[in-house]
A = this chain, B = another copy of it.
Amino acid sequence: MNTFGQALRISTFGESHGLGVGCVIDGFPAGIVIDTALLAAQMQRRKGGQTPYATPRKEEDKVEILSGVFDGKSTGAPIALFIPNTNTKSKDYETIKDIFRPGHADFTYHEKYGARDYRGGGRSSARESAVRVASGAFAKMLLQELGITCESGILHIGTHKGENIDFAYAKTSEIFALDKAVESAQKHAILEARKNGDSIGGCALVRAFSPNGALKGLGQPLYYKLSGAIGAMMMGLNGVKALEIGDGIESSTRLGSQNNDNMDSSGFTSNHCGGILGGIGTGEEIRIKIYFKPTPSIFLPQQTIDTSKQPKNLSLKGRHDPCIAVRGSVVCESMLALILADMALLHTHTRIDSIKDFYNAP
């Protein structure tokens, strides 16, 4: 169950303190020029060790392409990626190998599997998200060919919420802040949490758009809708506890006459639905909010138990993000790219007329 997608399938593997993390990308179409600069740029955005707002763990995050590329292009064969772990300090974890860290998957993995790789969370570590970003970069190479763009940024940190959204500004911000006006308050909140040995929650905003209408029709009713796939991927990400599409919760407090998106001859006159109706892309901007809990790893003393159910006072060591939402936003953007790339492939065989065109083409 370590696979996502239908036509474009990603199977990931690897642990936080093992040899590395990686994946197999299956179904990637042949003939796409592999844009290694794009790949490196995306990895750079997710990387820790660069600012006080992210984990001090500094991984090179160099992506090795093990297969599926020849003469600089995809061949249609599976593309395997491997990202070696180079900066593991497993000793940090020796002392807590029998202790369940609060808010972590330690207890549940122990219950499920009977034992666990305790070093840095093992398989449950956010380290795996490096692979989501790497494979997401490949999805972006595909979407680029179709004229689809995915972007992201930070909407709120703790209770500091951005109002005036600027995706271009987010690209320049150390915390990917979407609203310059609240950026320094947001940064301050992260540093304050960090200084106190604590952590803080936040919210990412992700969008996708296509000037040439390529989002129109994407989504596979009824159990692989665009909304359903977004729900699967975003809610399945470490630390995510809530999700909104379009106006989200706000919509649930409205009247129908307030919430429906009307149309005129030039198209939709509003976009409360966030670019998705009936689980299918309307062609309008897709807009999603993803809510992250605070990093469970904090340095303040906590009450917990060990594998023998004995109470323990725990004071964690190690290197952790004070706010997982920041780097998490890049992961969410990457996952939306993966979803849209998959949907774009599936959509090619929806109607017999275009299938016939394909088989009659010279």
Bound Cα distance A309, B227 (Å): 26
Q: Report the bound CA distance from A111 to B15 in whole Å.
A: 39
- Give 29 A-B contacts (CB < 8 Å), ordered by A residue: A2-B77, A3-B9, A3-B223, A7-B346, A18-B67, A19-B64, A24-B24, A31-B115, A75-B115, A76-B350, A107-B263, A109-B278, A112-B219, A112-B350, A113-B350, A145-B356, A159-B253, A193-B255, A230-B231, A235-B245, A241-B247, A243-B243, A249-B249, A249-B291, A254-B294, A256-B294, A259-B296, A262-B302, A348-B355
- CB A219 to nearest CB in B, in angstroms, measures 8
Which stretch of A37-45, A55-63, A279-287 is in the interface? A279-287
The answer, yes or no, to whether A140 is at the interface (CB within 8 Å) is no
Q: Contact string, A253-286, partner B, CB cutoff 8 A, digits 1/0? A: 1111111111111000100011001111111000
Chain A contact residues: over half helix, strand or loop, or mixed?
A: mixed
Could you say which interface size class chain A belongs to?
35 or more
Knowing A265-B309, A345-B355, say if A75 contacts B256 (CB, 8 Å).
no
In the complex, A187 Cα to B36 Cα: how many Å? 50
CB distance from A344 to the nearest CB of B (A): 7
| A107 and B6 in contact, given A31-B352, A350-B30 (Cβ under 8 angstroms) | no
**Taking A12-B78, A31-B115, A300-B257 as contacts, is the C-beta distance between A124 and B352 under 8 angstroms?**
no
User: Do A265 and B310 have beta carbons less than 8 Å apart?
Assistant: yes
Copy tally for this chain in the complex stands at 4
Interface residues of A in 64-123 (CB under 8 A from B): 64, 66-68, 70-71, 73-80, 82, 100, 102-105, 107-109, 111-117, 122-123
- Residue A11 at the chain B interface, CB threshold 8 Å: yes
A294 and B259 within 8 A (CB): yes
Min CB gap A359→B, angstroms: 5
Could you say which residues of chain B place their CB within 8 Å of the CB of A360?
212
Q: Is the CB of B123 within 8 A of A349?
A: no
A174 contacts partner chain B, Cβ-Cβ < 8 Å? no
Q: Is the CB of A252 within 8 A of B108?
A: no
- Of the listed stretches A165-173, A175-183, A200-208, chain B binds A200-208
Confirm or deny: A232 has a beta carbon within 8 angstroms of a beta carbon on chain B.
yes
Given the complex of chains A and B, what is the CA–CA distance between A233 and B298 in angstroms? 33
What B residues does A247 contact at CB under 8 A? 241
- CB neighbours (8 Å) of A77 from chain B are 2, 13, 15, 117, 122-123, 221
Name the distance in Å between A75's Cβ and chain B's nearest Cβ.
5
Complex CA gap A144/B247 in Å reads: 37
Asked whether, in the complex, the Cβ of A221 is within 8 Å of the Cβ of B115, the reply is: no
**In the complex the two chains form, is A248's CB within 8 Å of B242's CB?**
yes
A115-B73, A262-B303, A351-B114 known; A235+B227 contact, CB < 8 A: yes
CB distance from A340 to the nearest CB of B (A): 12
- C-beta contact mask, A10-24 vs B, less than 8 Å → 1, else 0? 011111001111111
Let me know if A46 is at the binding interface, CB within 8 A.
no
